[in-house]
Structure 1
Amino acid sequence: MVWKPKSNSSRYVNCRNPACKNKHVTPKFVRTFGADGVVHACPECAPWAALKSGAAADPTFARQTNRRQ
């Protein structure tokens, strides 16, 4: 889902990591850490060090990360 500022839908985007149960992230987070309007990891399911290294933009990382375990 790509965020569109003039859209009537929710401003938040779902994290696509199945381990975090689709927690919402802000459009600013998506622009900073995601790719093409999509995030595959968020602060709820991945450590900040991994996010800074590109985990949110990497679709294969989502299956490797479950911060709650």
Structure 2
Amino acid sequence: MKVVRFCLADYLDTNGISRYSLAKRTGIQYHVIDSYYKNKVYRLDGYNLGRIIQSLDCRLTDILTVVEE
């Protein structure tokens, strides 16, 4: 079965961006960003994803991946 996983932690760490900084940039609460960072999100919110990729100036595939489980 294929599942979507966040690789936001890798992206942020590679680019030297903190979760706090991303929360400030996007206006998304820190605990929500932290959930994405720790890959503990069970429902994807398109609005939040849009805000994240816009503030990071990246593609969706930079922060999401599909893996076989």
TM-score range, shorter chain: under 0.3
Relative contact order, CA 8 A, sep 6+: which one is greater? 2
Q: State TM-score, norm by structure 2.
A: 0.26
Q: State TM-score, norm by structure 1.
A: 0.26
> Which structure has greater strand proportion?
2
